[in-house]
Amino acid sequence: MDKEKLKKIINEKDVRYVKLQFTDLFGTIKSVEIPASQLDKAFDGKIMFDGSSVQGFVRVKETDMYLQPDLDSFLILPLESNGYGNVARIICDVHLTDGSMFSGDPRVNLKKVLAEARKLGLFDLKIGLEPEFYLLKENEEGEPILKFSDQGSYFDMAPLDRSESCRHDIVLELEKLGFEVEASHHEVGPGQNEINFLFSSAVKACDNVQTFKYIVKQVARKHKLHATFMPKILETIPGNGMHVNCSLTDFNGNNLFYDSNNNKNLSNLCLSWMSGILKHARAISALTNPIVNSYKRLISGYEAPNYICWSEANRSAMIRIPAFTSSEIRTEIRNVDCAANPYLAITAILAAGLDGIRNNYELLEPIYDNIQKLSMDERNKKGIISLPENLKDAIDELKQSKIMKEALGEHIFEKYIYAKELEWEEYRKLIHNWELERYL
Q: Residues 75, 245, 266, 264: is their CA dihedral positive or negative? A: negative
Which among 286, 191, 298 is positioned nearest to 235, based on CA atoms? 298
Residue 116 three-state SS: helix
Q: Single out the catalytic residue among 118, 315, 358, 428.
A: 315
List 124, 130, 173, 337, catalytic entry: 130
Closest CA to 224 of 119, 326, 145, 128: 145
- Residues recorded for the chain: 440
Amino acid at 393: D
Instruction: Tell me whether residue 421 is one of the annotated catalytic residues.
Output: no
For residue 315, indicate whether it is catalytic: yes
102 to each of 40, 50, 292, 379, 408, how far by Cα in Å? 22, 13, 28, 44, 12
**Nearest to residue 238, comparing CAs of 391, 333, 134?**
134
Please name the amino acid found at residue 322: P
Check residue 432 and report its DSSP letter. P
Active-site hit among 194, 207, 259, 355: 194
Q: Give the chain's end-to-end CA distance (angstroms, integer).
A: 64
Q: Are 37 and 108 in contact (CB under 8 A)?
A: no
Q: Which of 282, 297, 334, 379 is catalytic?
A: 334
CA 111 distance to own-chain centroid? 15
The residue among 285, 290, 256, 254 whose CA lies nearest residue 270 is 256
For 91, 291, 342, the CA distances from 336, given in Å and listed in that order, are: 24, 11, 10
Of 293, 291, 292, 295, nearest in space to 304 by CA: 295
Q: Is 187 a catalytic residue?
A: yes
Point out the catalytic residue in the list 70, 132, 161, 173: 132
195 and 170 in contact (C-beta within 8 Å)? yes
DSSP string, 386-428: EPPSSHHHHHHHHHT-HHHHHHHHHHHHHHHHHHHHHHHHHHH
Task: Give the integer Cα–Cα distance in Å for 83 and 74.
Answer: 21
Instruction: Judge whether 132 counts as a catalytic residue.
Output: yes
Among 105, 164, 332, 397, the one annotated catalytic: 332
Catalytic annotation present for 410? no
- What is the phi-psi region of residue 383: left when phi exceeds 0, alpha when psi lies from -120 to 50, beta otherwise? left
Helix (H) or strand (E) holding 21: strand 15-23
Beta bridge partners of 90: 20
Q: If we measure between CA atoms, which residue out of 289, 304, 293 comes closest to residue 349? A: 289
Concerning whether 130 is annotated as a catalytic residue, the answer is yes
Residue 369 falls in the annotated catalytic set: no
β-partners of residue 69 are 92
Helix (H, G, I), strand (E, B) or coil at 42: helix
Active centre residues (catalytic): 50, 130, 132, 187, 194, 243, 315, 332, 334
